[in-house]
Chains A and B, each alone.
Chain A
Amino acid sequence: EAQVTQNPRYLITVTGKKLTVTCSQNMNHEYMSWYRQDPGLGLRQIYYSMNVEVTDKGDVPEGYKVSRKEKRNFPLILESPSPNQTSLYFCASSLISRGRGGVGNEQFFGPGTRLTVL
Chain B
Amino acid sequence: AQKITQTQPGMFVQEKEAVTLDCTYDTSDPSYGLFWYKQPSSGEMIFLIYQGSYDQQNATEGRYSLNFQKARKSANLVISASQLGDSAMYFCAMRAGTYKYIFGTGTRLKVLA
Which residues of A approach B to under 8 Å, CB–CB?
31, 33, 35, 40-45, 48, 50, 56, 58-59, 88, 90, 92, 96, 100-104, 106-109, 111-112
Contact present for B101 and A112 (CB under 8 Å): no
- Which of B31, B103, B106 is the one whose CB lies under 8 Å from A103? B31
Bound: A42/B91 CA distance, A: 8
Bound: A100/B35 CA distance, A: 16
Bound: A19/B32 CA distance, A: 35
A-B contact pairs, 24 of them (CB 8 A): A31-B99, A33-B101, A41-B105, A42-B103, A42-B105, A43-B93, A44-B103, A45-B100, A48-B100, A50-B99, A56-B99, A58-B101, A100-B52, A101-B31, A101-B53, A102-B31, A103-B31, A103-B95, A104-B33, A107-B35, A107-B101, A109-B45, A111-B43, A112-B43
Tell me, rounded to whole Å, the shortest Cβ–Cβ distance linking B42 to chain A. Answer: 9
